């Protein structure tokens, strides 16, 4: 469980990047049937979608209007990755604080296992 919590930001960010790649690829392969698939990316990445839209509109004004989905794809992979990485960091911190609060109360947490003050050593003596 600890390994999953430690890697939670990366897991969420890579999952979002894979979803974004899949949605844009599907819309590119069959635009008649799946042309609106990238809208799901806009919904999933909300509220980071606003940042992505600001960046893509800035790119359009800088380079001129393009009818390619490539700038949207690149921007939303990066913005979505960053957004879900931040969400994962927040969740990891929340999970660790909740887990630490419960175990510190009864003296069985990580700090209790590495206690060098001498308190609680009688619990760890063999033969008890």
Query: Of 83 and 65, which is predicted with more confidence?
Result: 83
Q: How large is the average pLDDT for residues 117-122?
A: 56
From the centroid of its chain, how far is CA 108?
A: 30
* pLDDT tier at 58, thresholds 50, 70, 90: confident
User: What is the C-alpha to C-alpha distance for residues 112 and 121, in angstroms, rounded to an integer?
Assistant: 10
* pLDDT tier at 95, thresholds 50, 70, 90: very high
User: What is the C-alpha to C-alpha distance for residues 32 and 50, in angstroms, rounded to an integer?
Assistant: 27
* pTM score, whole prediction: 0.72
Residue 104: the pLDDT is 56
- Residue 69: burial class (beta carbons within 10 Å; 0-12, 13-18, 19+): middle
* Whether the Cβ atoms of residue 42 and residue 49 lie closer than 8 Å to each other: yes
Q: How large is the average pLDDT for residues 67-91?
A: 92
Phi and psi angles of residue 108, each rounded to the nearest 5 degrees, phi first: -115, 15
């Amino acid at each position: 469980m600890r390994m999953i919590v430690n890697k939670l930001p990366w897991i969420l960010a890579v999952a979002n990047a894979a979803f974004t790649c899949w949605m844009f690829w599907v819309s590119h392969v069959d635009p008649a049937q799946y042309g609106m698939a990238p809208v799901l990316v806009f919904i999933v990445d909300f509220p980071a979608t606003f940042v992505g839209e600001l960046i893509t509109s800035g790119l359009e004004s800088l380079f001129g209007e393009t009818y390619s989905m490539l700038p949207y794809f690149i921007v939303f992979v990066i913005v979505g990755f960053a957004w879900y990485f931040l969400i994962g960091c927040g969740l990891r911190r929340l999970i660790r604080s909740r887990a630490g609060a419960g175990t510190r109360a009864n003296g069985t947490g990580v700090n209790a296992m590495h206690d060098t003050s001498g308190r609680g050593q009688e619990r760890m003596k063999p033969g008890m």
